Amino acid sequence: VCDEHSDYKDAKLLYRFRKDDGTFPLSKDVKVFMRGQSLYEKLVSMEESILKVREENSVKYQRTFLGCEMIDWLVQEGEAENRKEAVELGRALLEHGIIQHVSNRHHFFDSDILYQFWINFRRRRRLTELLNENSSRALSESPDSPFCLRKLNPDPGNTSFLSVQTNKEIKIVSAVRRSSITSLAGNSNPYFSTTPTLVFPPVAECNPKSVLKRPVTNEELLSPGAPYVKKTLTIVGDAVGWGFVVRGGRPCHIQAVDPGGPAAAAGMKVCQFVFSVNGMYVLHLDYQTISSLIMTGPRTLVMEVMEAVE
């Protein structure tokens, strides 16, 4: 508490949580994420919350609100001093993937446009999933583990999940456990076991092709006027991992996303390109190096991705 010891000791010394006294250094990305979480918790706990199930173009959306409705609420609750400040807050939340326009066509405006919270901060993994996870195998034993898609304790006859690509094509991907993935040195393609419940899988039997329609270079991504938009995703890992597969190199791309995992909840999509990881520029790296960066980083992962404009 007196800042005299820089390390933690097994002794009769007093320590404090730095977040409690405001000395913990937070990046802008983490601050926006925490602000979004605070607003979400406040909204869902209200009796007459503005968050409701609404319908647009015959499609129902969860946790929705009107832009002007949110502005009214932010000013009324003292979360923003005026409507201009409230709009700036809404735009920051959208740019960080916490809220979005229901059909992803508009930025945040003080209008009757329909938005929704993209992240469900109260989502908790089912107890059965946690109990079935093999806790004896440490995450660090497999460099691919945070990206491995999984469906624990699958129902009989249903050992697949749907991975929705940006072009709305539905792709069936074999379900695997975190420990059921291996890779060959120097090869950027993943190998999936066909038996999702095995802890030690047999030799892989299939090799999924890249989801990219064609190779994309860094020069193409970064050229002026290129049809790509950058997004910031804040992904809070759960007991199983982050729930996505990254492959390729220079640039790496998102090969698949677990629809029920943290990455999907944060807005990650198949075919996005990985621009940065926790503030580090990574377009020039291969997927093994990016894997290592994430494995050795914090549980809360901040990624910048680039996706094609539809």
SS3 string, the chain, reads: CCCCCCCCCCCCCCCCCCCCCCCCCCCHHHHHHHHHHHHHHHHHCCCCCCCEEEEECCEEEEEEEEHHHHHHHHHHCCCCCCHHHHHHHHHHHHHCCCEEECCCCCCCCCCCCEEEECCCCCCCCCHHHHHHCCCCCCHHHCCCHHHCCCCCCCCCCCCEEEEEECCCCEEEEECCCHHHEECCCCCCCCEECCCCCCCCCCCCCECCCCCCCCCCCHHHHHCCCCCEEEEEEEEECCCCCCCEEEEEECCEEEEEECCCCHHHHHCCCECCEEEEECCEECCCCEHHHHHHHHHCCCCEEEEEEEEECC
Residue 129 has a pLDDT of: 43
Residue 140 has a pLDDT of: 35
CB 108 within 8 Å of CB 90: yes
What does the domain layout of the chain look like in residue ranges? 28-135, 218-308
- Classified by CATH at the fold level, domain 218-308 comes out as Pdz3 Domain (2.30.42)
Report the candidate in 255, 287, 252 with the shortest Cα–Cα distance to residue 269. 255
Residue 208 has a pLDDT of: 56
Residue 150 has a pLDDT of: 42
Report the candidate in 117, 148, 91, 127 with the shortest Cα–Cα distance to residue 266. 117
Residue 85 has a pLDDT of: 96
Decide if 28-135 and 218-308 have a common fold.
no
Residue 143 has a pLDDT of: 37
Below-50 pLDDT ranges, the chain: 125-207
- Distance, CA of 74 to CA of 207 (rounded, Å): 50
226-242 pLDDT tens trace = 999 999 999 988 877 78
Q: Is CATH 3.40.50.261 the classification given to domain 28-135?
A: no
Report the candidate in 232, 249, 259 with the shortest Cα–Cα distance to residue 172. 259
- Distance, CA of 38 to CA of 117 (rounded, Å): 12
99-138 pLDDT tens trace = 989 888 899 999 999 999 887 776 654 444 444 443 333 3
Residue 63 has a pLDDT of: 85
Residue 293 has a pLDDT of: 82
Rg (C-alpha) for the chain, rounded Å, is 21
Residue 17 has a pLDDT of: 86
Does this model's pTM top 0.75? My answer is no
